A = this chain, B = another copy of it.
Amino acid sequence: MSYTLVIHGGAGNITPAIMNAQMEADYTAALQDALRKGSDVLKKGGSAMDAVVAAICEMEDNPLFNAGRGSVFTKKGVNEMDAAVMDGRTLEAGAIAGVRNIKNPIRLAREVMLHSGHVFLSNTGASEFALKQGIETATDEYLFNKSRYDQWVEIRDTDYTQLDHKGDNLKGGPIPNTGHKFGTVGAVACDAAGNIAAGTSTGGMTNKRFNRIGDSPVIGAGTYANNKTCAISCTGHGELFLRAVAAYDVSCLMEYKGLSLQDACDVVIKDKLVKLGGEGGMIAVNAKGEYTFCFNSAGMYRGMANSAGEEIVAYYGQ
């Protein structure tokens, strides 16, 4: 079975200076586990969509990443999670924003796609749908993570928000340097049938308020897939990815301008987003199994595994 699976665990100020040998070992194991879970699906002839969900579930269950179990805390001290999936074969999509107490938000996004009649559900309504569909819930205790909590406590009495992997914040001023660097997760895959799919899951920004929605659950911004062009999952400063309609922009540059997957990602991430002031990255795959990691930040937790037996796990700049 021919396949390609690409994952990310967030982009940002990821440098050797903030890592150590133990952290490198932990992240390597975590990314390899996710690659294995997704590859197991693809090896058996499973769909790109199922592989994307399997890989992301593994990262959601690992507190190292800002998604699912490792989600950061909002201004009110709770976890509010966003996720989306898109199927490149059918252009079907499902997304959720601001849901609480769901073990695997990516599964809920897929359930929205398959059984809601809608594309995008939010907040308590999305939770009601999850309950109705029998999606697995998680207690506050399960979702609690001491390092995320401490990260929040340091800035909860301010108006500051904190992006993962970034030393500054959305208000332009300094915040205490917490030293905790974690990230949004995503996966894209091409399966043996040549179908592609994309998914993204995140806890958003530490100390976020007002039920803020970032780019992750927005089809076209943080997540997009179309067999004709590419499957994309983004991570970074969500507001800028939203304004840039970043994921769909890559698809359009390929479809309408004839750019390669790599060139299209480079235009969006390394030119257009830089000009807008947007830091972050994306992973991409096309229906031929070609893939790329692309980021304008210091690093991005990332991995790739394919049917040729290649496996890549990396963190720092290209």
Contacts and interface: CB of A to CB of B under 8 A. Distances in A.
A102 interface: no
Q: Which of A129, A220, A244 has most B Cβ within 10 Å?
A: A220
A180 interface: no
A121 B245 contact: no
A38 interface: no
Contacts of A213: 97, 120-122
Interface string A69-112: 00000000000000000100001110001100000000000000
Interface string A114-129: 0011111111111011
A121 B212 contact: yes
Size band of the A side of the interface? 35 or more
Contacts of A98: 122-123, 125
Interface string A129-142: 10000000000000
A124 B211 contact: yes
B245 A128 contact: no
Interface stretch (A150-158, A194-202, A248-256, A303-311): A248-256
A304 to B, nearest CB: 26
26 contacts: A91-B244, A91-B276, A92-B243, A93-B242, A97-B97, A97-B213, A117-B170, A117-B239, A118-B170, A119-B242, A121-B212, A121-B213, A122-B123, A122-B212, A123-B124, A125-B212, A128-B209, A129-B210, A219-B242, A220-B221, A220-B245, A224-B245, A245-B245, A248-B248, A249-B252, A252-B252
Given A97-B213, A218-B220, A219-B243, 18 more contacts: A91-B243, A91-B244, A91-B276, A98-B125, A117-B239, A120-B218, A120-B242, A121-B212, A121-B213, A122-B210, A123-B211, A125-B209, A125-B211, A126-B211, A220-B242, A245-B245, A245-B248, A249-B252
Interface of A: 86, 91-93, 97-98, 116-126, 128-129, 161, 170-171, 209-214, 218-221, 224, 238-239, 242-245, 248-249, 252-253, 256-257, 276
